[in-house]
Amino acid sequence: MNVYDVIVIGGGVVGTAVLRSLSAYHSKVLLLEKSSDVACGSSRANSGIVHAGYDAETGTKKAYFNVKGAAMYPSLTAELDVPYKKVGSLVAARKDGLPALTVLRDRGIANGVDVRIIERDEILALEPNIADDIVYALYAPEAGIVSPYQLTIAQADHAVVNGAEVRLEEKVIAIDKTQGGFVVRTEKGEYSARYVVNAAGAGGAEVNALVGEEAYVETHAVGDYFILDRKESGVVRTVVFPLPDERGKGILVAPTADGNVILGPTSRKVPHEQAEENAVTAAGLQYVREGVARLMKNVNVRSAIRVYAGTRTAIGSDFIIEESEKVEGFYMILGICSPGLTSAPAIGECVAEEIATKLTLAKKDSMLPLPASFRFREATPKEIALKAQEDPAFGRIVCRCEKVTEGEIVRAVHSPVPARTVDAVKRRVRAGMGRCQGGFCQPRVMEILSRELGIPMTSVRKGDAGSEIAPYEVKDGYETL
Ligand SMILES: Cc1cc2nc3c(=O)[nH]c(=O)nc-3n(C[C@H](O)[C@H](O)[C@H](O)COP(=O)(O)OP(=O)(O)OC[C@H]3O[C@@H](n4cnc5c(N)ncnc54)[C@H](O)[C@@H]3O)c2cc1C
């Protein structure tokens, strides 16, 4: 049996942050993820906002990790080469909204955040398309935008480069407590570890139940979104929120770190069984349209190129980040709803530090860097010429909308956490994320996956098991029918 110091369950932004931080120590660590890729849960489908930190109640874990995490983003994303921009955020209010903004401002100040209330002239200078009746806003210049799945993938890749292991399509189905730690069973194997970290998101309560830990009551709320074509990118410059209400932060309008515009999310309660379905509803999308119209002018929702939904999992009103009192060596990071993306790097660092101290793991002098990336769409003609000379595949465009080359796709398939599906390629290099949504490049991406993985075209999947895109050859298909 493979023996580890720590096993992390769940390859979201939290689990991969813990794994990466643990790989900064001399340690043997493993991450088990049930899906075909990391970043397949909440960390795939969210707003991608690095919140400044005025929203969470002072003194909570949410407030502490939000502020600490946000401060880590500039250097972390530079180190991991992940799209991130500090664009600032506005909470927009009408005439009667000043008292509520004042509460948020005071909370922000108490949390140590740079925030101030600004009036219409200043708002207009930041956001020329703000709705006519918005007269006040809470301005937080430190807020940012990030690609949540690229961050999750980069954290996992960086951990692997530094000696960690990631096993995909391995759902944890049993955990036995032993004298020295745990034996963790998946559908494919058995692994032992001195410590186990439960970062399983919506599956967290089920994983808790495997060791007899508390079955926390989780609530799940779906958020529906529109993504607009890049040509709309000038319509908004900062992250624009309405005043929050009891359901959450409300419908926002913001640029994305990759140059699109994001509108949403709703907050629709769903039962546990639907927590991983992530389907949009027509009513949800209509609610987004109406929310946007109250906040901004000139937002052309008809330029949407994609709709999607993601599900938040909450337990009570704060994050749970603690070692179990019942089961020694079992660490729980649960109920990580918003601002979980913002908080994740700080949570990862803190949990890794605590575990390293308990297991007396020594810190490495330094971490190995990720291999240098190449993005055709960001490169200069000279850089492209040099790269294509080195390897002509970097001169062959496959995704025309996002200008992604064959070389970038091949590299994604052979990256530290390899892309084995069309969606995994898409999340790494953006092939299929543009206006045509893969209509043009998907067959070509499938051919490359088939060639590089040595599998027939009929076995190439969109995502998880059962999602083969072309499961029959045409003739066989007719025969089968
Ligand atoms: C609509 C929406 C908007 C949001 N907006 C923001 C935002 O703008 N800013 C912000 O800071 N936060 C935001 N959040 C919150 C943020 O997305 C989450 O806090 C964060 O992604 C949680 O990460 P996680 O790793 O805990 O969970 P997940 O990303 O869900 O990862 C958990 C992983 O565990 C795996 N898993 C489950 N069970 C098992 C098992 N038995 N064995 C193996 N693997 C298992 C799952 O497949 C999954 O990959 C938003 C969330 C949503 C849904």
Atom of ligand 1 nearest to the CA of 337: 19
* Backbone phi, psi, residue 417, to 5°: -105, 100
**Residue 475's pLDDT is what?**
67
Domains with residue ranges and CATH for the chain: 1-83+145-216+315-370 (3.50.50.60), 89-141+219-307 (3.30.9.10), 376-480 (1.10.10.1100)
Spacing, Cα 345 to ligand 1 middle (Å): 13
Catalytic residue from among 51, 220, 272, 414: 51
Q: Which atom of ligand 1 is nearest to the CA of 310?
A: 53
Query: How many Cα atoms are found within 13 Å in the side-chain-facing hemisphere of 387?
Result: 21
Ligand 1: atom nearest CA of 44 is: 29
- Closest alpha carbon to 38 in 134, 157, 127, 135: 157
State in Å: Cα 379 to ligand 1 middle: 32
Atom from ligand 1 closest to the CA of residue 264: 1
- Minimum-distance ligand 1 atom for the alpha carbon of 35: 47
Question: Which stretches of the chain drop beneath a pLDDT of 70?
Answer: 475-481
Mutate to test the pocket of ligand 1, among 341, 343, 347, 464 (most ligand atoms within 8 A of CB): 341
Q: Which of 46, 175, 268, 319 to mutate to test the pocket of ligand 1 (most atoms within 8 A of CB)?
A: 46
Q: How many angstroms does the Cα of residue 44 sit away from the middle of ligand 1?
A: 7
pLDDT tens digits for 40-55?
999 999 999 999 999 9
CA distances from 178 to 195, 238, 293, 443 (A): 11, 51, 57, 49
Residue 224's alpha-carbon distances to 106, 262, 415, in angstroms, are 30, 11, 31
Give DSSP secondary structure letters for 23-58. Answer: TTBS--EEEE-SSSSSS-STTTSS--EE--S-SSPT
Instruction: Specify burial of residue 447 (Cβ count, 10 A radius: 0-12, 13-18, 19+).
Output: middle
220 is known as an active-site residue: no
The closest residue, in CA terms, to atom 14 on ligand 1 is 338
**Could you tell which of 20, 34, 40, 42 is best to mutate to test the pocket of ligand 1, judged by most ligand atoms within 8 Å of the CB?**
42
Please report the pLDDT score of residue 476 as a whole number: 60
| Helix or strand (DSSP H, E) at 208 | helix 204-210
**What's the 387 CA to ligand 1 centre distance in angstroms?**
36
Nearest-CA residue for ligand 1 atom 41 is 172
User: Which residue has its alpha carbon closest to ligand 1 atom 33?
Assistant: 10
Q: What is the pLDDT of residue 481?
A: 46
**Angle between helix 148-161 and 340-358 (nearest 10):** 20
CA of residue 50 to ligand 1 center, whole Å: 15
Distance 45 CA to ligand 1 centre (A): 8
Give me ligand 1 centre to Cα 174, in Å: 21
Identify the helix (H) or strand (E) that includes residue 69. Answer: helix 61-80
Question: What whole-number distance in Å separates Cα of residue 431 and Cα of residue 401?
Answer: 8
Task: Output the residue whose Cα is nearest ligand 1's atom 9.
Answer: 49
- For ligand 1, the distance from its centroid to the CA atom of residue 272, given in whole angstroms, is 14
Query: In the structure, which protein residues have their CB atom closer than 6 angstroms to any atom of ligand 1?
Result: 9-15, 32-35, 40-43, 46-49, 51, 171-172, 199-203, 207, 223, 265, 310-312, 336-342
- Which atom, in ligand 1's list, is nearest to the CA of 14? 25
Residue with the two structure tokens 């070509």: 444
